[in-house]
Amino acid sequence: MAINSVRPRRPVPTLDDDTAPISAPTAEPSATSPIAKQVATEMRKKQIVGEAPLLLAAVERAIRVAPTEMGVLITGENGTGKENLARIIHDNSKRKHKVFITVNCGALPEGTINSELFGHKKGAFTGADNDHAGFFERADGGTIFLDEVADLPLNIQVLLLRVIEYGEFYRMGETTPRKTNVRIVAATNRDMAQAIADGKFREDLYYRLSTVQVTLPPLRERGADIMRLVDFFVDRFVKDNNSLPPKFSPDAVSALERYRWPGNIRELRSVVNELCVMEPGNIITRERLNQSLPSMRRTDVVPAGHGPQYDYNRDREFIFQMIMQMHGEIESLKAMINNDGATHEPVHVSTRIDDIRRPAHRLTMDTLRGVDENHYSDIAVSDYLADDLPQDLGHADEVVHHQISDHAAPAHAPSGIRPLDQMKRDSIEGALNEFDGNRRKAAEALGISERTLYRKIKQYGLE
């Protein structure tokens, strides 16, 4: 690969770079307004790299709420930088010269969580050899950041609610309340509405903690920020280790921007550091990148344009086409039968389509809700479709039609009707042609297993 085909690396903002580009998170205020300048300043101080509107809006919201004493709940996936946002709130508040304590609620041992948060008296339990001040006592006058607050047990949530409402708590083993004046900033990656519905989080505590909510976007929704962060981490590693920076080919850049990054910024930093160690001065291609991202599967890639992972409209259209195909065949058979004027007896025609699957797609009766029931009165869709597990597409149990008694079925299908097996054969042949005979990719595209594809290839003579 020619060197000039490699993506040029853009300048990365640093702590001393007062000219680092940043745009306003909203149309108002403008990029030159005091709040926009403050956003830029805080992002440089905390080394928050990015220009995505959702990120800038989150930082601006944190700065605006910081001077108040209102409770703040920061939401976002793991690795999106929630603690940085909590520090921005503290650093821009009246408590900025007081202590800032971070507590990972999910990491606190269940048996000692009460003692860790609120302290204990000597002799309160076995092993309590001395008086102990908890986090809320030590954070008096400052800010306490409760990360992963949704992991707190319900009994501790009750005690936390009392701290918020009355500013008091009890050390374990004591009967006299102690006072504390702290500001609580909480964070979670959980769906709080679902946690409340499941009875795992108190609704009254939720409203106390979330007077103002600030949401950090996942990395996959930040577009060009991904490569800005790559440049930032590469520059920092090169500076710290006096090494040569790796370069990224266009296909590697595309892969990085389309990867879903389930670990967000934390995962990206780990991948970049590993590449800096193993490939100093080298060109990183997509193939090399796959070695550092073994989970870069089809399901972990954001389609171009950040659309949905699967095209459900395409699946629905396919089902409708199959329904209309079957309906046309049934109507043609009915017309032939009725023209004879003979007596009828019911016959069942199987229309199972066992080999067309979408493992990650749940087909329910809602999918067919738009079908005109009167127009398709001869189509009976099995209740099996409403099962919770993923099912075969087009799995209509039976289509009822009538056949003349004492007469054989027509030897040939009516004009314009293609047999179902022929449709399957054409689909498989088309997929094999599309992927130049690569059976694994063809099977993935068809939504069937390679084993099924091999069997069908042999059945239809496509070898």
pLDDT 10s digits, 429-442: 888 888 888 888 88
> Domain check: are 167 and 228 in the same one?
no
pLDDT score of 43 = 96
pLDDT score of 386 = 36
Among 267, 283, 306, the domain-final residue is 306
Q: Yes or no: say if 402 and 346 are a contact pair by the CB < 8 Å rule.
A: yes
| 6 domain-assigned | no
- Helix (H) / strand (E) element for 234: namely helix 225-241
> Domain check: are 279 and 169 in the same one?
no
Q: Which residue, among 115, 112, 86, 114, has the nearest Cα to 101 in the 3D structure?
A: 86
> Domain check: are 350 and 362 in the same one?
yes
Residue 366 CB neighbour total at 10 angstroms: 10
Number of structural domains in the chain = 4
Q: Which regions of 294-442 does DSSP assign to beta strands (E)?
A: 344-350, 379-380, 398-404
| 345 domain-assigned | yes
**Mean model confidence pLDDT for the chain:** 77
Q: Yes or no: say if 11 and 247 are a contact pair by the CB < 8 Å rule.
A: no
Q: Which residue has the higher pLDDT, 175 or 344?
A: 175
Query: Rounded to whole angstroms, what are the CA distances from 453 to 241, 265, 311, 318, 431?
Result: 51, 39, 22, 19, 11
> Domain check: are 99 and 182 in the same one?
yes
Helix extents (H) in 22-81: 34-45, 53-65
pLDDT score of 325 = 65
Helix extents (H) in 92-184: 113-118, 135-138, 154-166
pLDDT score of 455 = 83
Residue 24 CB neighbour total at 10 angstroms: 20
> Domain check: are 292 and 435 in the same one?
no
Q: Yes or no: say if 415 and 429 are a contact pair by the CB < 8 Å rule.
A: no
| 165 domain-assigned | yes
Query: Rounded to whole angstroms, what are the CA distances from 420 to 248, 311, 358, 391, 453?
Result: 48, 23, 19, 19, 17
Contacts of 391 (CB under 8 A, 6+ apart): 362, 363, 384, 385
- Positive or negative: CA dihedral 134, 140, 142, 147: positive
pLDDT at 173 over 80: yes
Among 216, 249, 276, the domain-final residue is 216
pLDDT score of 137 = 96
Cis omega (within 30 of 0) on the bond before 414?
Answer: no
> Domain check: are 92 and 63 in the same one?
yes
What is the domain range of residue 89?
53-216
pLDDT at 298 over 90: no
pLDDT score of 463 = 74
| 340 domain-assigned | yes
- pLDDT tens per residue, range 15-28: 333 333 333 344 44
Instruction: Report if pTM > 0.85.
Output: no
Q: What percent of the chain has pLDDT over 90?
A: 53
- pLDDT tens per residue, range 331-359: 667 666 665 555 444 444 444 444 444 44
pLDDT-based confidence at 34, cuts 50/70/90? confident
> Using the 8-state DSSP alphabet, how is residue 185 labeled?
E
Q: Which residue, among 154, 160, 153, has the nearest Cα to 109 in the 3D structure?
A: 153
Among 216, 238, 261, the domain-final residue is 216
| 92 domain-assigned | yes
> Domain check: are 161 and 100 in the same one?
yes
Q: Which residue has the higher pLDDT, 418 or 353?
A: 418
- pLDDT tens per residue, range 360-379: 444 444 444 444 444 444 43
Q: What percent of the chain has pLDDT over 70?
A: 67
One-character DSSP codes across 361-379: ----GGGGTTS-TTTTTTE
